[in-house]
């Protein structure tokens, strides 16, 4: 296997001995050859199977020749918008344009188009009418069937149709991309590649679709929200590679989009192989002049130990992308990577992270998942932990200890999400002790997300009582260790199910905690999550019962302001929210009040109050006592 970066110019292609490439990979990110970047993994996997790949990074979509760097590939184009959905990358939840892009050299914004996958594919199709085009990555994966698009506030067709691509390789893609490459290499026409797990294809031949569940017609999904909710839930319960069924969706003129079952999870040996490929572990040197690629800083000295998550948070897209079956690398694989990393010139002694979507998941939830899949209509942790759930941190502890003992390592941090509920369910609290003692520095970030059980239920998160138990255990453990370390809770406003009542409840909790978060995440309706379905339809697709949804921007601003009620800039919004919620009792001077009344208005006790009246009264009393000789 050739070492060094993959070619990014025709000159580099020729220098590496190619006159034509098997695949040309068009990506919306800068080219970073590191296993935390999807394009790096897919291209290196293909290379390990004997296929040549060239990278066209962030082509100028306004110029047709930007796609012609290498000419026509022998087997096909691969297209990905990048590590992030291009719309999430470009816009905040309030739909305001972001100022920087961490996946672009120098952090410059605007180097990729909105809906990048579609734009790149259309650019290719204008020049290469019949060359196979395969799309993948998070943007394509989560738009593989009809979906709600928050930015246009519309139901959109499968991205396969709007892009003009031939196939979607959804999920992580290592298995399906090699099977696609082998099929094309054997001479099979792209239109006949309909049999590979982890792919989505289109056809006009209904008779060729077998053993499949028919989803509602696209026009019905678009016309009726309840139909969309039902269709979504069928998709949601068929994401598992073992139990999931083939699905198909009908469009106009008898056009069908067919989703094959998900690809099987990687074994530990296969995971090890993927991460042992000869990555350069940094960005292409052509980006040095622009200041490099900011996104590498978060991952350069981090280690991926797992993928997949059975946590089941409804606002998370992992169920549709990586799946619920946890796949892990061996200790040897992770330690080998660390041993290379710790001798790099700019390594300062700190391994920034050892984890994945959820750091403390180091095995499937139960013994049957790697052969029989996950339960179709049950969650492993919600609303209560399943009786079959294996709660054990011993393997993770052993791995962390091996990494701590490596030369040149001062500290091993855990910055991936820690599932505090899974942690607290472990009867052996050794992991909590070692976490506090060795793997955090001053504070631990956790994600209770909310404190109202009504909202937590819609989020798919454990009850507030579980979080309270964890907070108590964390505090006790730190006290025993003689450490003064804090918890930083991630909180979310305006999630489906949250009215102003629940938002006020969260504000009161923060008041009692004495904590004011610096940042608040407003719920972001991204494609193909359960919570996004609730947001759009106003229905819980699990039960088809109505769910309250804050869609008005002003109400969302009030909910967000309540979490940061101490910020003077939020005063008017907080005051309005409290009045609307019927909680004027929280406007006053008592300790339990969130804000003070305005000058001249009555507080909740019906008395006229001036903001500094109490202060003036205190001063008068002091003068009186001085006069009487009392002070």
pLDDT of residue 604: 54
Considering the entire predicted model, what is its pTM? 0.93
What is the Cα–Cα distance from 192 to 370, expressed in whole angstroms? 30
Report the share of the chain in percent with pLDDT over 70: 95
Q: How confident is the model at residue 580 (pLDDT cuts 50, 70, 90)?
A: very high
Q: Does residue 414 share a domain with residue 514?
A: no
Q: Does residue 455 share a domain with residue 586?
A: yes
In a domain, 527, yes or no: yes
Q: Does residue 506 share a domain with residue 559?
A: yes
- Residue 551 pLDDT > 60: yes
Q: What is the CATH number of the domain that holds 86?
A: 3.40.50.2300
pLDDT of residue 520: 85
- Residue 235 pLDDT > 80: yes
pLDDT of residue 88: 97
213: helix, strand or coil:
strand
Q: Does residue 464 share a domain with residue 316?
A: no
Give the Cβ contact number of residue 193 at 10 Å: 18
Q: Tell me the pLDDT tens digit for each residue of 103-150.
A: 999 999 999 999 999 999 999 999 999 999 999 999 999 999 999 999
Q: Tell me the pLDDT tens digit for each residue of 157-188.
A: 999 999 999 999 999 999 999 999 999 999 99
In a domain, 250, yes or no: no
Q: Does residue 414 share a domain with residue 391?
A: yes
Boundary residue ending a domain (411, 439, 467): 439
* CA nearest neighbour of 552 among 593, 580, 575: 580
What is the Cα–Cα distance from 541 to 231, expressed in whole angstroms? 9
- Residue 606 pLDDT > 70: no
What would the mean pLDDT of 333-350 be, rounded to a whole number? 95
Q: How confident is the model at residue 441 (pLDDT cuts 50, 70, 90)?
A: confident
Q: Does residue 471 share a domain with residue 435?
A: no
- Residue 618 pLDDT > 90: no
Q: Does residue 541 share a domain with residue 417?
A: no
* Mean pLDDT over each residue of the chain, to the nearest integer: 93
Q: How confident is the model at residue 252 (pLDDT cuts 50, 70, 90)?
A: confident
Query: 619 or 574: which carries more pLDDT confidence?
Result: 574
In a domain, 626, yes or no: no
Report the share of the chain in percent with pLDDT over 90: 90
Q: How many domains does the chain have?
A: 3
List Cα–Cα distances, 610 to 569, 571, 598, 599, 607, in angstroms.
20, 16, 7, 5, 10
What would the mean pLDDT of 72-100 be, rounded to a whole number? 97
- Residue 2 pLDDT > 50: yes
CB 490 within 8 A of CB 313: no
- Residue 605 pLDDT > 80: no
Range of the domain at 322: 301-439
Task: Please identify which residue in the block is written with the tokens 């292609």.
Answer: 13
In a domain, 249, yes or no: no
Q: How confident is the model at residue 434 (pLDDT cuts 50, 70, 90)?
A: very high
- Residue 257 pLDDT > 80: yes
Q: Does residue 486 share a domain with residue 397?
A: no
* CA nearest neighbour of 349 among 401, 410, 405: 410
pLDDT of residue 624: 45
Q: How confident is the model at residue 516 (pLDDT cuts 50, 70, 90)?
A: confident
pLDDT of residue 3: 75
Helices (H), 342-438: 369-372, 394-404, 420-425, 430-438
Task: Please identify which residue in the block is written with the tokens 């970030």.
Answer: 445
Q: What is the CATH number of the domain that holds 393?
A: 3.30.750.210
pLDDT of residue 615: 44
Q: How confident is the model at residue 411 (pLDDT cuts 50, 70, 90)?
A: very high
In a domain, 213, yes or no: no
What would the mean pLDDT of 254-279 be, rounded to a whole number? 97
Helices (H), 482-540: 500-513, 530-537
Q: Tell me the pLDDT tens digit for each residue of 7-18.
A: 999 999 999 999
Q: What angle do CA 14, 17, 19 make, to 5 degrees?
A: 60
Q: Does residue 165 share a domain with residue 107?
A: yes
Boundary residue ending a domain (439, 469, 504): 439
């Amino acid at each position: 296997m050739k070492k060094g970066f993959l070619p990014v110019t025709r000159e580099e292609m020729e220098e590496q001995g190619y006159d034509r490439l098997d695949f040309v990979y068009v990506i919306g990110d800068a080219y970073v050859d590191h296993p935390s970047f999807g394009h790096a993994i897919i291209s290196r996997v293909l290379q390990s199977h004997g296929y040549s790949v060239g990278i066209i990074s962030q082509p100028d979509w306004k110029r047709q020749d930007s796609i012609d760097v290498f000419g026509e590939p022998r087997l096909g184009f691969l297209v990905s918008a990048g590590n992030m959905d291009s719309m999430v990358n470009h816009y905040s939840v309030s739909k305001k344009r972001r100022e920087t892009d961490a996946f672009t050299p120098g952090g410059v914004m605007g180097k990729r188009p909105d809906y990048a996958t579609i734009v790149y594919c259309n650019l290719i199709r204008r020049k290469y009418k019949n060359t196979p085009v395969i799309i993948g990555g998070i943007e394509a994966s989560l738009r593989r069937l009809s979906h709600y698009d928050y930015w246009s506030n519309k139901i959109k067709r499968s991205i396969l149709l709007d892009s003009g691509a031939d196939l979607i390789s959804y999920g992580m893609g290592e298995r399906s991309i090699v099977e696609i490459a082998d099929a094309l290499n054997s001479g099979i026409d792209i239109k006949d590649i309909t049999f590979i797990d982890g792919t989505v294809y289109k056809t006009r031949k209904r008779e060729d679709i077998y053993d499949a569940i028919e989803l509602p017609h696209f026009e019905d999904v678009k016309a009726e929200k309840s139909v969309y909710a039902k269709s979504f839930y069928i998709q949601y319960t068929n994401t598992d590679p073992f139990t999931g069924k083939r699905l198909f969706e009908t469009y106009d003129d008898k056009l069908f989009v067919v989703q094959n079952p998900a690809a099987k999870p990687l074994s530990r040996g296969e995971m090890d192989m993927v991460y042992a490929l000869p990555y350069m572990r940094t960005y292409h040197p052509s980006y040095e002049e622009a200041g490099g690629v900011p996104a590498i800083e978060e991952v350069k000295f981090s280690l991926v130990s797992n993928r997949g998550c059975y946590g089941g948070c409804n606002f998370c897209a992992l169920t549709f992308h990586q799946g619920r079956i946890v796949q892990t690398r061996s200790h040897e694989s992770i330690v080998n990577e660390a041993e290379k990393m710790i001798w790099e010139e700019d390594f300062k002694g700190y391994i920034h992270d050892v984890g994945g979507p959820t750091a403390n998941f180091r095995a499937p939830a139960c013994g049957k998942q790697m052969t029989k899949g996950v339960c179709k209509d049950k969650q492993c942790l919600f609303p209560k932990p399943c009786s079959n759930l294996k709660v054990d941190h011993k393997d993770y502890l052993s791995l962390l200890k091996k990494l701590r003992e490596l030369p040149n390592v001062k500290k091993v941090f855990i910055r991936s999400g820690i599932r505090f509920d899974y942690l607290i369910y472990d009867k052996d609290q050794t992991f909590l002790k070692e976490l506090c003692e060795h793997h955090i520095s001053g504070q631990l970030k956790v994600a209770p997300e909310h404190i109202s059980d009504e909202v937590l239920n819609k989020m798919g998160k454990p009850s507030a009582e579980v979080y309270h138990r964890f907070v108590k255990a964390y505090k006790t453990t730190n006290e025993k260790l003689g450490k003064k370390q804090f918890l930083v809770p991630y909180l979310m406003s305006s999630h489906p199910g949250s009215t102003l009542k629940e938002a006020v409840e969260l504000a009161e909790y923060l008041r009692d905690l004495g904590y004011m978060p610096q940042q608040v995440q407003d719920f972001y309706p991204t494609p193909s999550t359960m919570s996004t379905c609730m947001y759009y339809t106003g229905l819980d697709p699990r039960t088809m019962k109505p769910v309250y949804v804050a869609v008005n921007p002003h109400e969302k601003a009030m909910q967000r302001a309540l979490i940061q009620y101490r910020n003077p800039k939020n005063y008017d919004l907080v005051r309005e929210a409290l009045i609307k919620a019927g909680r004027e009792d929280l406007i006053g001077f008592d300790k339990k009040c969130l804000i003070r009344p305005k000058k001249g208005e009555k507080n909740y006790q019906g008395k006229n109050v001036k903001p500094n009246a109490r202060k003036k009264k205190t001063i008068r009393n002091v003068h009186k006592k001085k006069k009487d000789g009392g002070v």
